[in-house]
Amino acid sequence: MIIGIFGALGASWALCRLNCTTDTVLTGVYLPFLKNFVINLGWLYPFWAALVVTGASNAVNLTDGLDGLAIGPVMVTCVVLGIFCYVSGHSIFSSYLKIPHVPMTGELSVCCAALLGSGLGFLWYNAPPAMIIMGDMGALALGGTLAAIALFIKQELLLGIVGGVFVVETFSVVIQVIYFKRTKRRIFLMAPLHHHFEKRGWSESTIVMRFWIISCLLGIASLMALKIR
């Protein structure tokens, strides 16, 4: 939570420092696939930013339960956010594609490319059987970084789509805890969701590859938001 608060404050401060020669509502939340639909949170925006950073950080951390599982969706998210960063920072492209224009965010595509490259290098040693693991420090940092990038380019809700694997893993834990406290019974054999499939007899490599496939499909669906508005 502390990481989320400081991350939100940093993102909010950076947004306020941007060149505001744009019609983009910097304290607004834009809905993917909808043109010119924005919810202006105003002074509540830092709290929204804290929720996004905290949620994304913990979501990646919860997903990091099998060798290679978390880094695949992270890399897919980096690719999608990198494309959106470049488009958002370009006034002509963003105007044509009807997505929020935030000046100077095009440089964040370099950050996304760096994350992608480091993710590939990490995956070389994290593929089953892993020689190194991400751990809490790596997972929390990656989730927070992706959240910060999404906040900068006003694509927080798109992050929830491209990072749908993280969202489902997180909600599987939330649902399991709430349901167990109310009924003393479990919906899933074990949470997060990837452990449920382990209990059902799926091999680790099968779970990882299928989650990667789902992540790639979500990435393609997210890129459709560039044109479907």
Distances (CA, A) of 28 to 24, 93, 134, 146, 228: 8, 20, 33, 18, 20
Q: Which of 79, 166, 155 is nearest to 116 (CA)?
A: 79
Residue 61 known to bind ligand: yes
Q: Which residues pair with 30 in a beta bridge?
A: 38
Residue 136 known to bind ligand: yes
* Terminal-residue alpha carbon distance, the chain: 35
CB–CB of 90/106 below 8 Å?
Answer: yes
Q: How many angstroms separate the CA atoms of 57 and 202, rounded?
A: 27
Residues contributing to the annotated binding site for Mg(2+): 61, 136
Which residues are annotated binding-site positions?
61, 136
